[in-house]
Structure 1
Amino acid sequence: MPSVWARQQREPDQPALSRDAIVRAAVAVLDAEGIDALSMRKLGARLNAGATSLYRHVATKDELMELAVDEVAAEIHVPPADSPDWRAAVTEAAHSFRTTALRHPWLSSVLGQAGLAYLGPNLMSFSERLAALFTAARFPEPHRAIDTVLSYVIGMSTTEAAWLITVARSGTTEADLIARLMPAAQQAAAGHDHLAAAQDDAVAATTDPVALRDAKFSYGLEVVLDGLALRLPGA
């Protein structure tokens, strides 16, 4: 499996240009414009360097994405393994992951790609800290518990990030966009009695959409942790 972490890093050919500087610039472009806007030519212009100079440090865009993912993974906080309450600690880690994913909306969509899950030092550290936390909580299969939590967090974060990108492209606020879409949603839901609760959420979202998204994420996470708690010895 090709990976940037399998190659030896070259010495910079000019003092201002390094792999770290390239990665920081890439993250800035990704945050502002998304994956499709990222190119070596754009990075070169941003760093006042030719694309050829960049290729001395990063061979392909795939390698650059590996590095960018690992860069932002350092922002995810995982409490120590000896935390007194495993649920509170996992909840904190999950919320930190979500916060990071929404700060960098491109992150969740690329996490499943080959080479990203194992080799980067920050991702390795994140995985190790989670494993220590679930092992200390005495889960019989900690890696499966971790996979369950991450599947939920990444899935929710991907959906949420995509929605926030749509909001940003609309040129309006989240609450205003929801209000604009509500008439069509209400018309589509007419006659579907069991969708009434969803309509209530939509009305609430026009007042405080951030609080509603927070509540939805927290509810689902609690359900996941309730299920995992049944796997603990003596449960």
Structure 2
Amino acid sequence: MVSGLAVRRRVHWPQTYRIIRSIHPPIDLFEDIADPRDWEALASVEEKTNPRIRLEIGDLGKVAAARRVSGPGASFVMAPFVHCSTLRPGRFSDGSYGLYYAGDSEDVALAETIHHHQNFMRATKEDPGWTADFRVLIGSVDRDLDDVNAVPGVLDPDDYTASQAEGQALRAQGSDGLVWNSVRMPGGQCIGIFWPDVIPVPVQGRHYSYHWDGARVDFVRQHDTGKVLAVV
């Protein structure tokens, strides 16, 4: 049930920032000019010579054909919606559906991804060192989104019970997405978009590497400048 406390408002950010792992390659099917309504048929044909195609493409059934996007760069938008999993829940989803998360600054995107990367590294007991490479996606948003800052519990640092319930209910009622104050970067804001066609296709920005000291991410390195920045 929707709390009734979310406020729908126009969110216009000339730039949004999302950070993802660099290991994820573009998906040819999404980058092509083929009509998204034909993707299932094309995937079925491709599967005859490439049995792994279904793993690469993800679950197309998660996104209705009318809400898919295609063309150069479309993989960046489609991926979080077709590769979601209940094994990887988030603040506003139990993992059964995906969201495109982004921040209103690169610092916000860094803070959010560093937090989750640290949790993964602790859980898997990884050795210290420079770990995964990440890429920044720079996009924009100009849409009516639901501001959920006033909903009790949605900004809890660790317990996603309230936020997942609110996200699921708002999505079911037709919301295009959410906006809230960043939990990991005070003063910043985040968006969570429910459907690929809500936002323009982003462009690729700089790459980062994160350094794990055995307890936390203590440094990040910008690939383009070579600068190593301390995480405070």
TM-score interval w.r.t. the shorter chain? under 0.3
Task: Give the TM-score taking structure 2 as reference length.
Answer: 0.26
Higher strand share: 2
Higher helix share: 1
